[in-house]
């Protein structure tokens, strides 16, 4: 009888090991890979200007009045980003060559730097136009947000002005 119990236990152990092995094989090779990063809300399509509009809580009337500014800014931004992407592709092609042409790479880097600076200037010009068209309380909130994001400044607590560490992360432009 003891021999039968031992055989039964060995059989159950073998069955359990088979299930564990099958689960391992399924999890490793068959199951689709899990999403590696957490689901985050998609950034606003309009870039920094749309993010600021959400932060200062524009009402529907203000959004309608600013629609032309948002559309023009989004189109110009999209065009500039497309130009930057073309330069990145050209740089990638240049770097694939067996010997780098540093003069060509330097020129591409200079062009990309210029386009990024233009994009930053364009964003700030659009923000200035945006600030002119919002209510004074929203403008004050906008100034605080801009000071935090661009300058790393935090509003004083207790009446003294202070400068904090690095600015919070912001979306790429």
Which residues, including other chains, have CB under 8 Å from residue 84's CB and lie 6 or more apart? 112, 115, 116, 119
Closest CA to 142 of 74, 66, 41: 66
pLDDT of residue 110: 92
Average pLDDT over residues 81-102: 87
pLDDT digits (tens, 9 = 90+) for 109-151: 899 999 999 988 888 888 888 888 888 888 888 888 888 877 7
Specify whether the CB–CB gap between 48 and 123 falls below 8 A.
Answer: yes
End-to-end CA distance of the chain: 76
Averaged pLDDT for residues 43-50: 67
**Prediction pTM value:** 0.57
Is residue 5 predicted with pLDDT exceeding 70?
A: yes
CA-to-CA distance for 34 and 3, rounded, in angstroms? 46
Using a pLDDT cut of 90, give the percent of the chain over it.
7
The yes-or-no verdict on residue 167 having pLDDT over 60 is no
Cα dihedral across residues 98, 103, 109, 111: positive or negative: negative
CA torsion angle 47 49 53 54 (round to 10):
20
pLDDT, the chain, mean = 79
Domains of the chain: 48-152 (1.20.120.1490)
Is the distance from CB of 64 to CB of 136 less than 8 angstroms?
A: no
């Amino acid at each position: 009888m003891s021999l039968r119990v031992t055989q039964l236990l060995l059989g159950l152990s073998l069955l359990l090991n088979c299930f564990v092995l099958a689960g391992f094989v399924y999890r490793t090779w068959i199951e689709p890979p899990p999403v590696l990063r957490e689901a985050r809300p998609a950034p606003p399509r309009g870039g920094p200007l749309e993010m600021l509009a959400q932060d200062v809580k524009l009402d529907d009337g203000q959004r309608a009045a600013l629609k032309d500014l948002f559309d023009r800014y989004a189109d110009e931004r999209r065009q500039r980003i497309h130009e930057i992407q073309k330069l990145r592709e050209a740089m990638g092609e240049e770097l694939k060559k067996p010997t780098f042409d540093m003069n060509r790479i330097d020129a591409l880097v200079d062009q990309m730097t210029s386009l990024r600076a233009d994009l930053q200037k364009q964003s700030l010009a659009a923000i200035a136009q945006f600030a002119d068209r919002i209510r004074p309380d929203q403008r004050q909130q906008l100034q605080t947000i801009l000071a935090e994001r661009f300058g790393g400044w935090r509003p004083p607590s207790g009446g003294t002005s202070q400068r904090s560490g690095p600015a919070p992360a912001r979306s790429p432009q």
